[in-house]
Amino acid sequence: MAAVSVFGLGKLGSPLAAVLAASGHTVFGYDASASVRSKLRSGEAPVHEPGLQELISGNLERLFVVDTVGDAVSSSAVSFIVVPTPSGEDGGFICDYVLDACGAIGSALAFTDRPHLVVICSTVMPEAMGRQIAPALSKAAGVEIGGRLKVCYNPEFIALGSVIHDMRNPDMVLIGESDRDAGSMLVDVLSPCWENSPQIHRMSFANAELTKVAVNAFVTMKISFANVLGELCEGLPNGNVEAVSNAIGADSRIGKKYLKSGLGYGGPCFPRDNRAFERISKTITGKPTLASRVDEINERQPERYTQAVLKQTKKGDTVAVLGASYKPGTRVMEASQALSVAKSLQEYGRNAILFDEQIGDCPGGDLPAEYGELRFDGDLAAVVEKADAILLTLADSDLAAQCERLVSRKKASVLVFDIWRIMPNLAEMNHVTYHGSGLGPVSVGE
């Protein structure tokens, strides 16, 4: 087992540090935030992620927090950089934090002649590794890349809410390598973490950088295509998007994963990776791609559902929006389509109340600033009871089951908009007017 360091202990960095420690490695973590370091040093997970606290608590003997970059580098043979790469106005990723980390790590390496592998996990644009990151590291360390200093690009393919599972069970491991030895060293470090036998794809920096963004751009295309199918089915007699998408997904060239009509994609990865893919195309070819159209389709979904609710409600009606995060299992609300719907309903004079079990009454700093006026209520029973209309925005079967049970006991009539079609039993209840998205009007004889 190796001694490794992790720079950046946020939503991905702290789970990575915990998974590495649980796999037998000795881990030295560093974060620029003193409060993050303090939390992890005391054994407290610095971010909310299912299973993270348990993993940290069970591996404290191999998980150390240091207060300087030099301490982390001098204690390890491999350094993972997991810092933010925010999107610029043009859709590209800004590498300033990565470059800062490389400068600090390189400066620390200048005082040692030991071999060291630096792994960039943050998502970057094509050619950033070759033109910016590796040269910055080399300059700071005072040595050429490829000798005792090696570099890999190893972005994660994970989803918030299942980060630990995804790290331990990757479909594919992507490695951009400065040389073959660098990639082999990284595989040796990561392989004890895996509970499956993933495909490992090793390639040049530029190919790996393009692959990372292209994977998410392709997934967003499937999501938007499924939502187009949903819209079409709503206009067809007895239309049923589940029947259509299941049949399409049975074709091995397509597959069913992510081919599900719903609210659209959100979160910290899909929207920005899709825009980055468009930026790459315009930079290299001068031409747009499907990515821009995919984004347009995604952006119209909140308004589509807002209008559906408005047509069946009046000003002053209370609309319960069940789900505020961008997906089940996380409290992250970045680019959440549900928040857009709730805000629009509020602006149109409806009394929107958000419920999300992960968030409760007080979303705090997790709520994007532009949604600061939205109201949250952590009591699902109370929310359902006072609602004139209910909009299920999360594809969460447990939440759906709770909602069905509470609605069945409700005395007053209620509208239900089932975006993910996971509460079909409500359609049979006399006091419920049920609307399943992607379902067309019933037509006898069709």
418 conformational bin, left if phi > 0, alpha if psi -120 to 50, beta if neither: beta
Closest by CA to 116, choosing from 102, 98, 131, is: 102
Determine the Cα–Cα distance for residues 436 and 421; give it in Å rounded to an integer. 5
- In this structure, how many other beta carbons lie within 10 angstroms of the beta carbon of residue 47? 21
Q: What is the pLDDT of residues 405-426, one digit of tens each?
A: 999 999 999 999 999 999 999 9
Question: Looking at domain 3-203, does it have CATH number 3.40.50.300?
Answer: no
Would the pLDDT of 443 be above 80? no
Would the pLDDT of 8 be above 70? yes
Q: What is the pLDDT of residues 148-207, one digit of tens each?
A: 999 999 999 999 999 999 999 999 999 999 999 999 999 999 999 999 999 999 999 999
Determine the Cα–Cα distance for residues 365 and 315; give it in Å rounded to an integer. 30
Name the fold adopted by 213-299.
N-(1-d-carboxylethyl)-l-norvaline Dehydrogenase; domain 2 (1.10.1040)
- Range 301-436: architecture per CATH: 3-Layer(aba) Sandwich (3.40)
DSSP, residue by residue, 227-268: HHHHHHHHTSTT-BHHHHHHHHHTSTTT-STT---SS---TT
Q: What is the pLDDT of residues 252-305, one digit of tens each?
A: 999 999 999 999 999 999 999 999 999 999 999 998 888 999 999 999 999 999
**Confidence grade of residue 444 (pLDDT, cut at 50, 70, 90):** low
pLDDT value of residue 366: 85
Average pLDDT (379-383) is: 97
> In 48-151, which ranges are continuous DSSP H helix?
52-57, 69-74, 96-109, 128, 134-141
Closest by CA to 205, choosing from 150, 166, 163, 157, is: 150
**DSSP summary character for residue 93:** B
Q: What is the pLDDT of residues 14-27, one digit of tens each?
A: 999 999 999 999 99
Residue entry with tokens 């300033």? 96
Compute the mean pLDDT over every residue in the chain, rounded to the nearest whole number.
Answer: 96
Q: How far is the CA of 278 from the CAs of 109, 158, 214, 296, 343, in angstroms? A: 37, 22, 10, 12, 28
pLDDT value of residue 404: 97
pLDDT value of residue 362: 87
CB 429 within 8 A of CB 407: yes
Domain with CATH 3.40.50.720 in the chain: 3-203, 301-436
Burial 300-311 (b: 16+ CB within 10 A, else e): ebbebbbebbbe
**Confidence grade of residue 365 (pLDDT, cut at 50, 70, 90):** confident
Domain with CATH 1.10.1040.10 in the chain: 213-299
